[in-house]
Amino acid sequence: MASFDLIVIGSGPGGYIAAIRGAQLGLKTAVAEKDSALGGTCLHRGCVPAKAWLETAHRFEQTRQAADFGIAGLDEKALRPDLPAIIRRKSRIILKNSKGIEFLMKKNNVTVLKGFGQLLGGGKVKVNDEVHDAKKIILATGSVPSVPKDLPCLEADGRRVLNSDHALEMAELPGHMIILGAGAIGVEFASVFSRLGSKVTLVEFMDQLLPLEDQAVGAELAKVFVRQHKIDVRVKTKITSVERQSDKVVCALEGEKPGVIDGDCLLVAVGRQPFTMGAGLENTAAVLDRGTVNVDEFMRTNEPNLYAIGDIVRTPMLAHVASDEGIVAAEHAAMELGADVKPHAIDYLRVPGCTYCDPEVGSVGMTEKEAVAKGFDVKTGSFPFMPVAKANIIGETHGFIKVVADAATKKILGVHIIGPKATELVASGVAILAGQLSVDTLINTMYPHPTLNEVFPEAARAVYGRALNC
């Protein structure tokens, strides 16, 4: 048995960052990980491998358009995706990043405990057959793919009915993929497989794609999916039954676009759910509310000296959120153990959201609907990428930026982008909200030319109906 100042259970982007921060602040720190390699779901089964697939799909599409850029000699008809090669590249990226995390653990003198970490209460953590003492504990056990409880027929089998883990390991391109769920996971996989050559049907129960995004963004994404990628988009529709056959899956649909459709496989992408099974929370005073752990602004649970972060708490299920929460928890733990540090509470109204479909989506702050519901006198301004020189240079002119502002104070409340490099451009939106900038300040901010960033002041001008380039 060993004693530590801090034990972190889980080595995902929240857990390993928390362990590093704790060690930096002088705590004797350990991290427990049940998987054979460090990195958690984000690295091994989520963010990173999914984006590797998306990058391949993007480059495949670009190669097919090479003649438009003056590149001759490529036989477009001969181009084909090599899925085993995609998987090998994805695996190399994962291995490199996992090794990087291992290096960071050694560099910061963090002890790695191999095995499933279980809370025993009273500051004790069991890892395999060993029990360790900790003054502080951070629980960061992540999430797993969700399955609708009212439809057991959607339980994944890895062959005809898939979850996102299975989709990342597909060695053969399906002729027709049916995707249930048009949140970030669903639209990203729709982008991947439609661009690689599969027929894709996308089914969403809500009234728009990306239901958490601004309505204008969801509507624009649907248009691009239908027109450019030939995706069969069915919103306000649900799957009521699934029949698995030897060579296909047959789905019955109800709603706005009902019917019976069959495909090679059904990908269930209805989100993720917290993973706390076996973590030992029943041995503590921590409170579970609808599957998530209750915490305060410093990520403390009701159990003394126990913190919870990431996908197991009721905050956005995003890697960068988990990382910030890990820093907050580690700093608070270190402060209580005597370190000279002042943890900051996270402002969840300024969390950037990124969806890596084609076109990309990036957003931060309130949607127009949310701002109206909160009582603001809302003014909005939108500007398309179409007239922007850099968008034409790179050949990606779809989409727009939308600014949501308060008419009374002219303060910018939200920034919503759909289009090329939206997941990179949204960082400027984060800075705009963090600085509490006004529409006038954004108008008077100079952006370089030619860049995609030029959409920002134009969208601000559009709030007053005087954009310069359209």
pTM of the model: 0.94
Sheet with 249-255: list strands edge to edge.
237-244, 249-255, 259-263
Q: Check whether residue 455 and residue 386 sit in a common domain.
A: yes
What sign does the dihedral 425-427-432-433 (CA atoms) show?
A: positive
Q: Check whether residue 138 and residue 9 sit in a common domain.
A: yes
**How far is Cα 60 from Cα 196, in angstroms, rounded to an integer?**
7
Q: Report the number of distinct structural domains present in the chain.
A: 3
Specify whether 449 is catalytic.
yes
Average pLDDT, the chain: 96
Among 132, 176, 229, 449, the one annotated catalytic: 449
Q: Check whether residue 108 and residue 256 sit in a common domain.
A: no
- Confidence band, pLDDT 50/70/90 cuts, at residue 153: confident
In degrees, rounded to 5, the angle at the alpha carbon of residue 140 between the alpha carbons of residues 272 and 286 is 95
19 contacts 31 by C-beta, under 8 angstroms: yes
Of 156-160, 197-201, 327-331, 412-416, the one with minimum mean pLDDT is 156-160
232 contacts 200 by C-beta, under 8 angstroms: yes
Looking at residue 148, what is its pLDDT? Answer: 77
Average pLDDT over residues 33-39: 95
Measured CA to CA in angstroms, residue 261 lies from 160, 180, 248, 283 at distances of 14, 13, 10, 48
**Residue 117: count of CB within 10 angstroms of its CB:** 27
- Given a cut of 80, whether residue 467 has pLDDT beyond it is no
- Confidence band, pLDDT 50/70/90 cuts, at residue 189: very high
Q: What is the pLDDT of residues 43-85, one digit of tens each?
A: 999 999 999 999 999 999 999 999 999 999 988 888 999 999 9
**How far is Cα 10 from Cα 29, in angstroms, rounded to an integer?**
13
The CATH number given to whatever domain includes residue 448 is 3.30.390.30
Give the residue among 332, 298, 334, 333 at the shortest CA–CA distance from 315. 298
Q: Is residue 130 packed enough to be buried (19+ CB in 10 Å), middle (13-18) or exposed (0-12)?
A: exposed
Task: Report residue 197: phi and psi, to 5°.
Answer: 125, 0
Identify the domain boundary among 218, 248, 270: 270
Buried/exposed code over 441-457 (b: 16+ C-beta within 10 A; e: otherwise): bbbeeeeeeeebbbbbb
Average pLDDT over residues 384-409: 97
Identify the domain boundary among 248, 270, 292: 270
252 assigned to some structural domain = yes
Task: Report residue 142: phi and psi, to 5°.
Answer: 75, -150
- Confidence band, pLDDT 50/70/90 cuts, at residue 161: very high
Give the residue among 355, 380, 400 at the shortest CA–CA distance from 462. 380
- Given a cut of 60, whether residue 470 has pLDDT beyond it is no
360 contacts 416 by C-beta, under 8 angstroms: no
Q: What is the pLDDT of residues 118-141, one digit of tens each?
A: 999 999 999 999 999 999 999 999
Looking at residue 75, what is its pLDDT? Answer: 86
Domain that holds residue 458: 359-462
104 assigned to some structural domain = yes
Looking at residue 469, what is its pLDDT? Answer: 67
Looking at residue 292, what is its pLDDT? Answer: 97
Q: What is the pLDDT of residues 217-231, one digit of tens each?
A: 999 999 999 999 999
345 assigned to some structural domain = no
258 contacts 237 by C-beta, under 8 angstroms: yes
Q: What is the pLDDT of residues 328-387, one digit of tens each?
A: 999 999 999 999 999 999 999 999 999 999 999 999 999 999 999 999 999 999 999 999
Q: Check whether residue 278 and residue 265 sit in a common domain.
A: no
Q: Check whether residue 421 and residue 282 sit in a common domain.
A: no
Q: What is the pLDDT of residues 76-113, one digit of tens each?
A: 888 999 999 999 999 999 999 999 999 999 999 999 99
